Structure 1
Amino acid sequence: MPAKQEDVEKIIATVPGFQRQWQEFVKESEKETSPQWYLVMGGLAHYLVEKYAQEATGEFSDLFASVETLLHKPDPELENLITVGLLEDIQNVASHRDFGAAPFLRWLGPRSLVVWNEINAYMKRVSDWAAKQEPRREAFDVEKALSQVENPQLRKIIESMYRKK
């Protein structure tokens, strides 16, 4: 069963500057049989990275406090949404910026920090495993692709999916 809308709304409510994007998402999701929460969390991750780049972090304390509270709920779907949909996307998107993901650590609570570190450990294991594999084809060059992308939506998708090395 997917994460509950009320839990997602608790996160979104802490970020007034993201309300327009949230309303657009809600309107679009009316057409869907089930809400695509990972898309909205990915959008929120991009929003947060951009806000950090603009030195506009006033919403961060409330947002990450909400995330911390929700991570203590016994709901594996919600935990996965926060882990993969939000925190991993923040790490991935921020890896394409000069400041990287480390600045976000200061807003993480104890449980969020554990999850954050688990994501990093998993990504390291994947990277180590991939480095040992015999290449079957030319590897996808993320930086080359991003340098050629003109569509901002496509750029966001690539940044969310691939971490800069």
Structure 2
Amino acid sequence: MIVLDMVMNLLIDSCPSYKERSENYMKENYEEGEERLLYMEMSDLAEHIVAMYKNNQTDEFDKLFETIELLHTDGDRDVRVLASVGLLEDIQNHILRDEKLTLSAFETHLGSVSLEWWTHLINAWEGKSDYFGGPIKN
């Protein structure tokens, strides 16, 4: 099972172009031994992912989105929430800030479980679902 301490290393391994930016982010935002704010790191990664897409630099997307799917399927509850509310929702927010991008453009990259969370987040913000905690299973 994937736990929070494993998330950033998994994501950086699947998106090597983010490694240097992540290292700079760590230096600029944390003191030695300080607790990491993973939701803030997810926002920074989301910005990087959307910039990659805008610049047609999607060669890392297959591995990256496989990892995001893995976080949803093999992560503990905290990891699943971080992957959806932390990362997917931040990707959506960055997309919505750019009139040239659409949410549907990223759907082809998502695995089935990640797509379910992606759609659920959209539905929650559109008022079609009153529960932000994830897709409800019957």
Q: Comparing 26-35 with 95-104, which one deviates more in the overlay?
A: 26-35
User: In 2, are the aligned partners of 1:45 and 1:90 still within 8 Å (CA)?
Assistant: yes
> Is 1:24 the equivalent of 2:51?
no
Separation of aligned partners in 1, 2:116 and 2:15:
23
Q: Comparing 108-117 with 70-79, which one deviates more in the overlay?
A: 70-79
> SS of the residue aligned with 1:72?
helix
Q: Percent identity?
A: 27
1:117 pairs, out of 119, 126, 131, with: 119
Alignment deviations for residues 118-158 of structure 1 (CA, whole Å, 9 cap, x no partner): 100100018xxxxxxxxxxxxxxxxxxxxxxxxxxxxxxxx
User: In 2, are the aligned partners of 1:29 and 1:36 still within 8 Å (CA)?
Assistant: no
Structure 2 residue aligned with 1:102: 104
Let me know the Cα RMSD of the aligned residues. 1.7
Q: CA deviation at 1:33?
A: 3.7
- How many residues align? The count is 124
Gaps of 5+ in 2: 129-138
Separation of aligned partners in 2, 1:101 and 1:26:
29
Q: CA deviation at 1:69?
A: 1.1
Structure 2 residue aligned with 1:141: none
TM-score (norm 1): 0.69
Gaps of 5+ in 1: 127-165
Separation of aligned partners in 2, 1:60 and 1:90:
13
Alignment deviations for residues 63-115 of structure 1 (CA, whole Å, 9 cap, x no partner): 00011112112511111111111100111110122122211111100100100
Counterpart AA for 1:117: T
